[in-house]
């Protein structure tokens, strides 16, 4: 859709240099103003954020019915599709030859925007959309009860309408994939640089279906096939990827379309720099590795071109550089990749949304480098982290930190981490508050919640986490009761498989997350001022015994030996100023070692029960 800001986007892209946009003076001021946060009333600060976001977005009182612009419902057929990593079932999908509602949706949004705003209404029925829904300023897209939008499963439909013509790669959009900027497929719902926008439904029969597990036309592959092989050791119910076969092209297999050497696209690098970024072998040419390599090499975004011929799946809903955003009252199913991914947005509320997607990387809500965010009364049934707060990766930190975020009254039915920070957090994360949450772990017997409260970073992602407060969390069915882990680097003081960093602990701070996946390891993270209270964990029966987790607490601080940059090595700080109080972690399966600490200074436990024993002590490791 060519809209009124296309010229602005083009100018912006040309202005982006090696590290992207410069942080604006306003963003710098906001970061400086909050850096010193940590006063005597943190929950008062949380309430101030809630109060700030209480005023709803408002729109001109005018409705634009999509059927008046050529959109029409479709008939449905049945297809065998993937429900999750390993399960298949028959699902409804638009019948072949269904009417494409993309032109009608786009025309209604454009007319509403041009007239000064209002509400674009999608009535009850099944609607097929072979392209992205692109939101514009002052437009409220609303799904009536019973409205179900099924997005095309043809990747080419998300490389048709972008503002950047990239030859055989398609017409692409400015995007961010796993926290690196690029030109790529459009997300299925997209907005860039818009103000006062809303996407809402009447209830959870208002459905946005990304059809991530539905086979592409004429193929047995689907969006989720592009994930490739899972690398986690002892990953429960994640042992396969839908329809993936060894050697099949994916985001994790070297792509012959990518150059054989970084010297081709970054001739300014010294040989030592090139070797450090590429590492050994050809794995760096896989799309998921090639993009961060381009960031490390300082390659401008205009030359980070993906789309057709590549395997970086688009998010379901991606909003970049937007202000005053409301997401409310609908259900999302079967996202190709992350479900919600707001980037560099300010004043965003997501309320009473059901993120229901069990495929690979189906994170429910991933605010990145956002300021003032409220996540309220949402439900997550996720194939990956339910909520994962992000803040840039490699050199793409121009948007600054994620900050001033409140998560409350949410239910996490299933997922990897319930509330997660990272792993992409190079720009920093601060002032995050989570309260009054239920981590149900409804699939505990077959596909359990990996961990409840989770931090992920490493010597590549770096960044900082500070001022993180959690209270009033109920976990009735515990978390995974067996340990999962990542391969460690040679010479690491932590043995691979010896600690439940990937899954198995209730609270996991992993500052050595998946270290073998990153060639450049020169940025020690810092973690401080974390306070967690009133977490209640129930037991389930496994092997005839009551258990709640494998270990209650795992805090793996930064590992200095991972550093591979020039001398002198930077200071590697321990995890510090962490308090856990008034909690009951149930009965860990590993009763002999209920917690694991490495490079941690002064973890304060206050009235913490583990396996029926109470702990009030300060420990380090």
Q: Structural domains in the chain?
A: 63-222+240-303 (2.160.20), 363-480+498-619 (2.160.20.10)
For residue range 162-216, what is the model confidence (pLDDT) as tens digits?
999 999 999 999 999 999 999 999 999 999 999 999 999 999 999 999 999 999 9
Q: Where are the beta strands (DSSP E) in 440-525?
A: 451-456, 464-475, 505-510
Token pair 């304060």 is found at: 604
- Decide: pTM greater than 0.75: yes
Burial degree of 36 (CB within 10 A; 0-12, 13-18, 19+) = exposed
- Spatial contact of 608 and 583, defined as CB atoms under 8 Å apart: yes
pLDDT band at 229 (very low <50, low <70, confident <90, very high): confident
pLDDT at 530: 98
pLDDT band at 9 (very low <50, low <70, confident <90, very high): very low
Give the Cα separation of 373 and 125 in Å (integer): 32
Give the Cα separation of 348 and 351 in Å (integer): 10
Question: What's the average model confidence in pLDDT over 60-80?
Answer: 98
Q: Is the pLDDT of residue 308 over 80?
A: yes
pLDDT at 37: 53
Give the closest residue to 554 by CA, choosing from 610, 606, 515: 610
For residue range 132-168, what is the model confidence (pLDDT) as tens digits?
999 999 999 999 999 999 999 999 999 999 999 999 9
pLDDT band at 396 (very low <50, low <70, confident <90, very high): very high
Indicate if the alpha-carbon torsion angle 65, 68, 69, 73 is positive or negative.
positive
Q: Is the pLDDT of residue 46 over 70?
A: yes
Give the Cα separation of 599 and 457 in Å (integer): 14
Exposure of 42 in the CB half-sphere (CA atoms within 13 A) = 22
Q: Dmax over Cα atoms in the chain, in whole Å?
A: 67
- Spatial contact of 89 and 81, defined as CB atoms under 8 Å apart: yes
For residue range 401-455, what is the model confidence (pLDDT) as tens digits?
999 999 999 999 999 999 999 999 999 999 999 999 999 999 999 999 999 999 9
């Amino acid at each position: 859709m060519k809209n009124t800001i296309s010229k602005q986007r083009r100018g912006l892209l040309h202005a982006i240099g090696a590290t992207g946009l410069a942080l604006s003076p306003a963003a710098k001021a906001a970061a400086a103003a909050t850096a010193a946060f940590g006063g005597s009333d943190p929950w008062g600060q949380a309430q101030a954020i809630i109060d700030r976001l209480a005023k709803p977005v408002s729109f001109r009182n005018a409705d634009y019915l999509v059927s008046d612009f050529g959109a029409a419902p479709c008939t449905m057929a049945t297809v065998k599709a993937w429900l999750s990593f390993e399960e298949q079932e028959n699902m409804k999908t638009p019948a072949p030859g269904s009417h494409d509602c993309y032109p009608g949706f786009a025309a209604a949004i454009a007319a509403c925007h041009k007239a000064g705003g209002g509400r674009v209404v999608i009535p009850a029925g099944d609607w097929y959309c072979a392209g992205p829904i692109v939101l514009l300023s002052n437009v409220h897209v609303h799904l009536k009860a019973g409205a179900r939008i099924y997005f095309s499963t043809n990747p080419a439909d998300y490389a048709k309408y972008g503002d950047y013509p990239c030859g055989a790669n398609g017409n692409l959009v400015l995007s961010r994939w796993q926290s690196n900027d690029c030109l790529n497929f459009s997300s299925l719902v997209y907005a860039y640089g818009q103000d006062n926008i809303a996407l809402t439904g009447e209830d959870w029969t208002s459905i946005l279906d990304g059809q991530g597990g539905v086979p592409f036309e004429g193929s047995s592959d689907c969006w989720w096939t592009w994930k490739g092989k899972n690398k986690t050791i002892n990953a429960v119910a994640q042992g396969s990827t839908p329809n993936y076969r060894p050697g099949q092209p994916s985001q994790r297999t070297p792509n012959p379309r990518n150059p054989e050497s970084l010297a081709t696209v970054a001739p300014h690098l010294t040989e030592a720099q090139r070797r450090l970024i590429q590492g050994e072998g050809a794995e760096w040419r896989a799309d998921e590795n090639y993009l961060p390599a381009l960031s490390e090499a300082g390659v401008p975004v205009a030359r980070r071109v993906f789309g057709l011929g590549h395997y970086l799946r688009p998010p379901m809903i991606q909003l970049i550089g937007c202000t005053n955003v409301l997401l409310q009252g609908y259900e999302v199913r079967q996202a190709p990749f992350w479900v919600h991914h707001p980037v560099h947005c300010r004043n965003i509320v997501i309320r009473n949304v059901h993120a229901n997607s069990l495929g690979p990387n189906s994170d429910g809500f991933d605010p990145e480098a956002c300021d003032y965010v409220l996540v309220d009364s949402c439900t997550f049934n996720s194939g990956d982290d339910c909520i994962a707060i992000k803040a840039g990766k490699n050199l793409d930190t121009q948007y600054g930190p994620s900050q001033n975020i409140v998560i409350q009254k949410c239910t996490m039915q299933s997922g990897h981490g319930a509330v997660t920070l990272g792993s992409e957090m190079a720009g920093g994360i601060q002032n995050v508050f989570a309260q009054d949450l239920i981590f149900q772990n409804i699939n505990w017997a077959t596909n359990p919640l990996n961990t409840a409260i989770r931090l992920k970073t490493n010597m590549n992602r770096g960044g900082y986490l500070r001022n993180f407060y959690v209270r009033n969390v109920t976990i009735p069915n515990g978390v995974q009761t067996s340990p999962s882990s990542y391969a460690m680097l040679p010479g690491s003081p932590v043995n691979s498989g010896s600690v439940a960093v990937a899954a198995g602990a209730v609270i996991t701070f992993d500052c050595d997350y998946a270290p073998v996946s990153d060639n450049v390891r020169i940025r020690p993270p810092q973690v401080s001022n974390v306070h967690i209270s009133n977490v209640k964990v129930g037991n389930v029966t496994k092997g005839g015994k009551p258990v709640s987790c494998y270990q209650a607490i795992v805090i793996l601080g930064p590992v200095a030996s991972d550093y591979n940059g020039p001398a002198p090595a930077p200071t590697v700080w321990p995890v510090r100023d962490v308090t856990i109080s008034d909690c009951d972690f149930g009965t860990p399966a590993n009763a002999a070692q209920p917690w694991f600490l490495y490079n941690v200074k002064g973890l304060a436990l206050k009235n913490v029960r583990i396996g029926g024993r109470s702990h009030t002590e300060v420990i380090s490791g």
